């Protein structure tokens, strides 16, 4: 398989047999790729060898604490998804949503978008600035009172 460039190499295994990188393949375009020292494909072994020989710059070291970060990110996403489900019961139900004032509709829509944007925050997943829900939303996602 032909390729033109390889960038951002980093070890993803402690033993050093796997290197993640970005490769611009002629037929596939730019894609994330894992080069393996003992790959069954010639291009995989070739890319690994060229990276290991320093042809594409320094290789970022293996980071062993990646799994706690992934776990934390998943925990944050799960909480965010639960909050989204609660607000979606209101926002995505046209009959219920129609009964709210325009101001309350805007508050719900804004809150929902802020929840969706949680993963775009600069400190995600280590620090998250959780949005304040509109007044009247209970854990079940139902408002305690309607605002007309």
Question: 108 with 146: CB under 8 angstroms?
Answer: no
Binned at pLDDT 50, 70 and 90, residue 138 comes out as: low
CB neighbour class for 52 (10 Å; exposed up to 12, middle 13-18, buried from 19): middle
Span of 73-82, 96-105, 138-147 with lowest mean pLDDT: 138-147
Query: What residues contact 143, with CB distance under 8 A and at least 6 apart?
Result: 90, 100, 134, 136, 137
Reduced to 3 states, what is the DSSP secondary structure of residue 114?
A: helix
Tokens of 44: 């995989």
- Tens-place pLDDT, residues 27-63: 899 999 999 988 888 999 999 999 999 999 999 988 7
Residues 96-116, mean pLDDT to the nearest whole number:
93
d(CA 8, CA 59) in angstroms, rounded, equals 7
For the cut 90, the answer to whether the pLDDT of residue 1 exceeds it is no
* Residue 116: predicted pLDDT: 94
**For residue 37, what are the β-bridge partners?**
none
Tokens of 121: 């925050």
Overall pTM surpassing 0.85 (yes/no): no
């Amino acid at each position: 398989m032909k390729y033109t460039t390889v960038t951002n190499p980093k070890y993803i295994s402690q033993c050093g047999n796997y290197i993640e990188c970005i490769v611009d393949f002629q037929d596939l375009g730019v894609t994330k790729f894992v080069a393996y020292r003992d790959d069954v494909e010639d291009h995989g072994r070739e890319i690994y060898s060229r990276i290991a020989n320093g042809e594409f710059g320094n290789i970022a070291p293996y980071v062993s604490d990646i799994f706690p970060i992934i776990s934390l990110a998943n925990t944050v996403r799960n909480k965010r998804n639960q909050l989204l489900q609660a607000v979606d019961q209101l926002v995505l139900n046209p009959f219920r949503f129609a009964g709210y004032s325009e101001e309350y509709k805007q508050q719900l829509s804004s809150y929902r978008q802020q929840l969706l944007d949680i993963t775009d925050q600069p400190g995600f997943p280590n620090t998250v600035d959780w949005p304040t829900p509109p007044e009247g939303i209970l854990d079940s996602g139902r408002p305690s009172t309607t605002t007309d």
